[in-house]
């Protein structure tokens, strides 16, 4: 479960300043040499964020990659109508974007859902390592492609579904990909859950109640348990 993972990180190197021996570093750093990790250790800085604080904002200058070491956060797109949550983040996500590669502007926002810690690494240093380390370069660009493919495919699937399918898909995403458990305590507010599902507040409340009454899920406050994942999968697939 997510809570257990965070506990393991806290006990095994969360405050360790040395990237070579840090258990909280992103997987992409495993492809760096010891000397490159030493450069990152000297270059990086760690910032702690409280719940709700913005880690970086869409449209601002993009100068650093971030390695997410503790807590949870949301990646979201903002416009005059509000926000759409594109993805949720947990340790040890490595976050960058296409904007860093061509216009140095963040193409989405990231903010903390719970108290979180992030290591910032100057992209100029990352770029130097990319130019000399083929293994890291492959891992780096694979990560960007996976990140953007996930967001694109998720948005296309959501927008082609009716509201019950969208909410079923969100519940399965939370259970399988984020919390890794059929039972979890939701870190999101109801408003954030509507942004993640791309539905109205009224639709969310009504459909969650319907799922609860049909014994597809059990819900009490922020506690959710998936009771019938097979039926939720059918609702998601059939839209």
pLDDT in tens, 149-208: 888 888 888 888 999 999 999 999 999 999 999 999 999 999 999 999 999 999 999 999
Whether 90 shows a pLDDT value over 60: the answer reads yes
Instruction: Indicate which CATH number applies to the domain containing 35.
Output: 2.60.120.10
- 10 and 48 in a single domain? The answer is yes
- 151 and 178 in a single domain? The answer is no
- 137 and 200 in a single domain? The answer is no
- 50 and 112 in a single domain? The answer is yes
- 149 and 196 in a single domain? The answer is no
Q: Which H or E run includes 83?
A: strand 82-89
- 125 and 219 in a single domain? The answer is no
pTM above threshold 0.75: yes
Q: Which domain holds residue 7?
A: 2-158
Whether 10 shows a pLDDT value over 60: the answer reads no
What residues contact residue 68 under an 8 Å CB cut-off, 6+ apart? 26, 89, 90, 91, 92, 93, 94, 95, 116, 118
pLDDT score of 2 = 54
DSSP-H helix ranges across the chain = 2-11, 34-43, 99-102, 123-132, 134-159, 163-173, 190-197, 201-213, 229-238
Q: For the chain, what percent of residues have pLDDT higher than 70?
A: 91
From 106, 129, 158, the end of a domain falls on: 158
Whether 4 shows a pLDDT value over 80: the answer reads no
- 66 and 182 in a single domain? The answer is no
- 204 and 103 in a single domain? The answer is no
Considering its fold, how many domains does the chain have in total?
Answer: 2
The average pLDDT across 41-57 equals 94
């Amino acid at each position: 479960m997510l809570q257990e993972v965070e506990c393991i990180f806290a006990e095994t190197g969360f405050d360790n300043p040395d990237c070579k021996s840090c258990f909280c570093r992103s997987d992409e750093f495993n492809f760096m040499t010891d000397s490159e990790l030493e450069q990152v250790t000297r270059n990086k800085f760690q910032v702690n964020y409280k719940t709700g604080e913005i880690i970086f904002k869409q449209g601002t200058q993009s100068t650093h990659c971030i390695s997410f070491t503790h807590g949870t956060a949301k990646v979201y797109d903002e416009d005059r109508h509000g926000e759409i949550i594109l993805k949720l983040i947990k340790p040890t996500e490595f976050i960058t974007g296409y904007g860093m590669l061509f216009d140095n502007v963040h193409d989405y926002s990231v903010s903390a859902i719970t108290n979180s810690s992030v290591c910032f690494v100057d992209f100029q240093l990352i770029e130097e390592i990319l130019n000399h380390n083929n293994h890291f370069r492959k891992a780096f660009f694979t990560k960007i492609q996976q990140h953007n493919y996930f967001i694109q495919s998720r948005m296309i699937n959501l927008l082609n579904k009716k509201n019950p399918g969208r909410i079923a898909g969100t519940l399965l995403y939370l259970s399988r990909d984020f919390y890794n458990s059929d039972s979890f305590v939701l870190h999101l507010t109801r408003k954030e859950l509507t942004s993640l599902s791309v539905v109205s507040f009224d639709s969310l409340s009504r459909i969650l109640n319907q799922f609860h009454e049909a014994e597809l899920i059990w819900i009490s406050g922020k506690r959710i348990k998936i009771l019938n994942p097979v039926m939720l999968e059918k609702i998601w697939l059939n839209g």
